[in-house]
Amino acid sequence: MASLAEMERELLVERTKAGLEAARLLGRKGGRKRKMTDSKLKSAKKLLSSGMPPQEVARNLGVSIPTLYRWVPASTLL
């Protein structure tokens, strides 16, 4: 019984990998969409360089403060 379960598991993994590869060839990507788009990133840099506090920038762009810090280099925040 265990050998049949192991074989079925191997088939499942193989089919999953094949499906992901087929989707990749069609141009699809997995995972979540990025919260910080290129336009939001440009806006964040512009607002931060104008002197707006990071908390306000994050609120205006609809992202969390850690997300803002993750995408914008620390040198821009000073």
- Token pair recorded at residue 12: 């499942």
Structural domain boundaries enclosing 22: 1-31
- Over residues 10-38, the pLDDT tens digits come to 999 999 999 999 999 999 988 888 889 99
Residue appearing with tokens 């931060």? 48
| Residue 69 half-sphere exposure toward CB, CA atoms < 13 A | 7
- Banded pLDDT at 77 (limits 50, 70, 90): low
51 and 21 in one domain? no
Q: Are residues 19 and 42 in the same domain?
A: no
Whether the Cβ atoms of residue 61 and residue 40 lie closer than 8 Å to each other: yes
DSSP SS3 for 51: coil
Question: How many domains is the chain built from?
Answer: 2
d(CA 52, CA 62): 15
Mean pLDDT, residues 42-63 = 92
